[in-house]
Amino acid sequence: MSASETLLASGRKLLINNYNRAPIVMSRGEGCALWDADGRRYLDMTAGIAVCVLGHGDAGLAQALAAQAARLHHTSNLYYIETQILLAEALAKRAFAGKIFFCNSGSEANEAALKLARRYQAVVRGKPQRTEIIAFEKGFHGRTLGALSVTGQAKYRQGFGPLLPEVRFVPFADAEALRAAVSERTCAVIIEPIQAEGGINLPPPGYLQELRRLCSERGALLIFDEVQTGVGRTGTFYAFEREAMVPDIVTLAKGLAGGVPMGAMLANDEVAGAFEPGSHASTFGGNPLASAAALYVQRAIDERNLLARCQETGAHLSHALLRLAERRRPKTRGVRGRGLLQGLVLESDAAPVVQKARDKGLLVSVAGGQVVRFAPALVVSEGELDEAVAVLDAALAES
């Protein structure tokens, strides 16, 4: 047997079967390329599900991790952590002012946001009756019970009930339904500024501003889940920066530490005050190693001008996908997205096309069932994007 076959046999025997894994064992990576255990190269347009913003094998990130690991890799939050404070300072210079809680994943960040919102309404505002959370159909916020409870896709919730009570789902981008839903019992509204897992769904112009106005008017908190759209993915550090409004709470993860597990919840000063010592915690949250990685990512984004680069390469990708969509009609229905979060919408299930592309050496993923998702590293080149679109074109031609 080949190296991959041997490892696959062991993995299938020992690992819980909760992932629909492709039969590939990844061994190493460099930039926007991955190699499996048998040495086959793949062009990676997934970046670990929008995580590896600097690509694979970034030398500076590896050096930052090695230096920090040799110095101090864990202490817990019983003490202040140097790299965590420096990271908080770097994030505070971005477009959201307030205080930060660090954790290990997007689900954990959203759990913290939901807990903070409930506690703020009950303890700070003295309104314990405001417990209802409004979320959106086709939304995705994570796999833990609280985050799953506000995920608007039934397939993820099946078999895990009863979940968090007092959650109401409304159609995404339906302003009238939203106005009817937010009431004196609404604790918070949680939304992705662009629904990623749900199919790269963008709200219409003005919708998020109306949402902000409505929450402010009716006393509900506004939570933006920027787990996938944040850290430069759409061409600004936060997707909300293009919307001329600011939420009360923002959650981040995925690209935050460039592939090292890390999440964060940011809240404005008033809302953040609802958490006091003992009210919430994370043993590994903001540990020295993850914080050093995230701090390096922050510096790299600025020093390499990755936000502007993402806007440029994102426009290039969008135009290339639009040309492909026109060429492959009626198999395709269009393109949607922003920056380096783009989706090619198909007339049918995207999974067979994604598999055929993988067989040809291209890694893309499915979003919302009928969308081929591109979420490459922010360092991707236009040449690599052209190569990827050409392979996808060939996959569509054979589908």
Q: Which residues are known to be catalytic?
A: 140, 225, 254
Counting Cα atoms < 13 Å in the Cβ hemisphere of 85 gives 5
Q: What 3 state SS string does the chain have? A: CCHHHHHHHHHHHHCCCCCCCCCCCEEEEEECEEEECCCCEEEECCHHHHCCCCCECCHHHHHHHHHHHHHCCCCCCCCCCHHHHHHHHHHHCCCCCCEEEEECCHHHHHHHHHHHHHHHHHHHCCCCCCCEEEEEECCCCCCCHHHHHCCECHHHHCCCCCCCCCEEEECCCCHHHHHHHCCCCEEEEEECCCECCCCCECCCCCHHHHHHHHHHHHCCEEEEECCCCCCCCCCCCCHHHHHCCCCCEEEECHHHHECECCEEEEECHHHHCCCCCCCCCCCCCCCHHHHHHHHHHHHHHHHCCHHHHHHHHHHHHHHHHHHHHHHCCCCEEEEEEECCEEEEEECCCCHHHHHHHHHCCEECEEECCCEEEECCCCCCCHHHHHHHHHHHHHHHHCC
Residue showing tokens 């991959």: 4
Alpha-carbon Rg for the chain in angstroms: 21
Q: What is the rounded end-to-end Cα distance, in angstroms, of the chain?
A: 30
**Would you state the structure tokens that stand for residue 394, as one six-digit string?**
């060939």
